[in-house]
Amino acid sequence: MCGIIGYIGNKKASNVILNGLKRLEYRGYDSCGIASIFNDIEVRKNVGKVLEVSEKENFPEMNGNIGIGHSRWATHGKITKDNSHPHFDCTKEICIAHNGIISNYKELKETLIQNGHIFTSETDTEVIPHIIEEELKKFNELNEENYILGIQNAIKRLKGTYALLILHKKFPDMLVGIRNESPLILGISKEECFIGSDISAFLDYTKTAIPLNDMDIAVFNKKGGKNIDLKLLNNGKIVKRDVLKLDWDIESAEKGGFEHFMLKEIMEEPEILKNSIEISKGEIEELSKAVNNCDKIYITAMGTSLHAGMVFEYWFSKLGKLVIPIDSSEFLIKGIVDEKTLVIGITQSGETYDTIKALKYAKEKGAKTATIVNVLGSTATREADITIMMGSGIEIAVCATKTFMSQLVILYRLFIEYGKNIGIDMSSYEKELLNIPKYISKVLNERENIKELSKNLNAKNYLFVSKGINLPNALEGALKFKEITYLHAEGMSSSFLKHGTISLIDENMDTVALLPPTNSELFSSVTSNIEEIMARKGKVISISPIKNDELTIKVPDVLEEISPFIYAPVCQLLAYYKAVELKRDVDKPRGLAKSVTVE
């Protein structure tokens, strides 16, 4: 979940790493640190966000042209200076930054303490430099070859997930990176190289990238010259990996005049969806054929991506095809998978731990796999048989907005393609596909009205309710609301209220109701449920195609099948404006990270 970056070149490493950490801060922001080599290894780190720590520790003052950096999202140990990365071994000659979780660290730590090692933190990470230290002591001579061999032997003792960056005082011209089930990608140019958790860490400097596979070891060696030697190893053998030419522009990660990235990314949705409508045509056709050849389909995803999969379930039910959306962390427990199963993993980052694990499990069982993803070269793209890019561009805010909309577009296109494949007239759905960006623009033009209406949300507890194809949007609306306002919210079917939850309704519980389009047979049903809430003095803000009162947010009255596209931005904006009113850190909500790369 943390962000790591390494640099080797001719620039001042601390400046490059500081810039990269700012780009990676969405992955973790409770503490950070930098290590660089200049005669000795110097580490500066502290609690706080990147710029706060830089001001405390004066990162730009650090010397050296080789270094590593880390922005932490705490998993083991409290948020303290000692627990922040990078970490040393006993000799202070080996220094590492780590993203992931070492699951057997307790056993390793006990053994290391018995062997005389002294620990200064509560983290699982700190066992790693001490294990490397032990392995290197086994050699009579510590040369470069033995150094790499010692690292290889050390990681064999680790269980869990890790992306590692390693510095050694005795090898001041070398930077080593290792990947195992945690994202790590190289950025390459002739005179400088980068290695980071995410492409955005080095897009300012190069658009040439090499994604690493599991158990790859990248060894950068400067050896005093301008050019840098790169060697990639796996199981002790030299390997080659694909080189990617990136077309992302780092300017797309700037706020563009908006107060927050989240608002900017919501406002980008109409334009982004035009791209999502056009890309990956061949891959969607291929996936549609795979749907036709399977007995059952699972959508495996987490959080927002899972809600997109739930909408897909409703679309495919209209074509008589059963789709089972399933929480990825539950997939290994209850997924029934064989050679006639199709498993589609949806993950914005392509690195979501539980979804990657589900895809690997499905492949082991002989299932056909696909992924819908936003990051080229991510783990999901290499695990799945079929990769469909979402085309959302970089999304900086932790809260997923435009990527959710892109996921819906890709799934809606798959719905259309499969319907055509089985001989159903999908022309009305195809026509509306092209109108979706226009409809969303109309919704976004009402953002000032939504802002004013959000001020009427004054409770501490909230319900988001709907029925049918917008039930997933009620779940998603509640998720958005609680993750950035820090107020309790839950989503459910409006009919489910009377089966227990309606007992909570009073003047202290506000409800956001998503009324279906007027062409839906569910419109009157949801309306009736709202009346039951109001009869119990519950305040209701309705998102509706019909303006009922001053607490109604009016949206275009569209075909029911595309209504999820229209209702989602309203829920996003309600959450955003309420969070701003409450002075929350909208782009970096507490306790959350953009890419969940641990279990």
| pLDDT tens profile 160-198 | 889 999 999 999 999 999 999 888 999 998 789 999 998
Selected residue with higher pLDDT from 72 and 74: 72
- What pLDDT was estimated at residue 1? 66
pLDDT over 80 (residue 599): no
Tell me the mean pLDDT in the region 45-74.
95
**Containing domain of residue 281, as a range?**
255-445
pLDDT over 90 (residue 255): no
Determine which of 63-67, 139-143, 190-194, 319-323 has the lowest per-residue pLDDT on average.
Answer: 190-194
- What pLDDT was estimated at residue 316? 98
Tell me the mean pLDDT in the region 20-41.
92
User: What is the total count of domains within the chain?
Assistant: 3
Domain boundary among 420, 445, 470: 445
Residues 436 and 585 in one domain: no
| pLDDT tens profile 78-97 | 999 999 999 999 999 999 99
CATH of the domain at 520: 3.40.50.10490
Domain boundary among 391, 422, 445: 445
Tell me the mean pLDDT in the region 94-108.
95
Instruction: Indicate the pLDDT class of residue 252, thresholds 50, 70 and 90.
Output: low
3-state secondary structure of 264: helix
Instruction: Indicate the pLDDT class of residue 6, thresholds 50, 70 and 90.
Output: very high
- What pLDDT was estimated at residue 225? 67
Instruction: Indicate the pLDDT class of residue 383, thresholds 50, 70 and 90.
Output: very high
- What pLDDT was estimated at residue 37? 97
Burial 274-286 (b: 16+ CB within 10 A, else e): ebbbebbeebbeb
Residues 233 and 279 in one domain: no
How many other CB atoms are there within 10 angstroms of residue 343's CB atom? Answer: 28
pLDDT over 70 (residue 515): yes
Residues 404 and 528 in one domain: no
- What pLDDT was estimated at residue 156? 96
Of 2, 95, 193, 399, which is the active-site residue?
Answer: 2
Q: Give every strand in the sheet of 193-196, ordered side by side.
A: 40-47, 31-38, 66-72, 3-8, 193-196, 185-188, 208-211, 244-245
- What pLDDT was estimated at residue 312? 98
**Active-site residue flag, 193:** no
Q: What is the mean pLDDT of the chain?
A: 94
Tell me the mean pLDDT in the region 548-562.
94
CATH of the domain at 134: 3.60.20.10
Percentage of the chain lying above the pLDDT 70 cut: 99
Residues 193 and 126 in one domain: yes
Instruction: Indicate the pLDDT class of residue 333, thresholds 50, 70 and 90.
Output: very high
pTM for the model: 0.85
Tell me the mean pLDDT in the region 493-522.
89
| pLDDT tens profile 114-166 | 999 999 999 999 999 999 999 999 999 999 999 999 999 999 999 988 999 99
Tell me the mean pLDDT in the region 570-594.
94
Compute the CA torsion angle 523, 529, 531, 537 (nearest 10 deg): -140
Q: How far apart are CA 506 and CA 121, in angstroms?
A: 48
Compute the CA torsion angle 3, 227, 87, 141 (nearest 10 deg): 150
Residues 243 and 279 in one domain: no
Residues 106 and 145 in one domain: yes
Task: State whether the Cα torsion 518-523-528-533 is positive or negative.
Answer: negative
Residues 263 and 132 in one domain: no
Residues 240 and 265 in one domain: no
**Active-site residue flag, 2:** yes
| pLDDT tens profile 473-486 | 999 999 999 999 99
Residues 470 and 580 in one domain: yes
Residues 397 and 483 in one domain: no
- What pLDDT was estimated at residue 496? 87
Compute the CA torsion angle 374, 379, 385, 388 (nearest 10 deg): 0
- What pLDDT was estimated at residue 251? 66
Residues 169 and 220 in one domain: yes
Of 360, 467, 539, 594, which is the active-site residue?
Answer: 594
Domain boundary among 445, 477, 497: 445
Tell me the mean pLDDT in the region 425-454.
96
| pLDDT tens profile 190-230 | 789 999 998 889 999 999 999 999 999 999 999 766 789 99
Residues 66 and 215 in one domain: yes
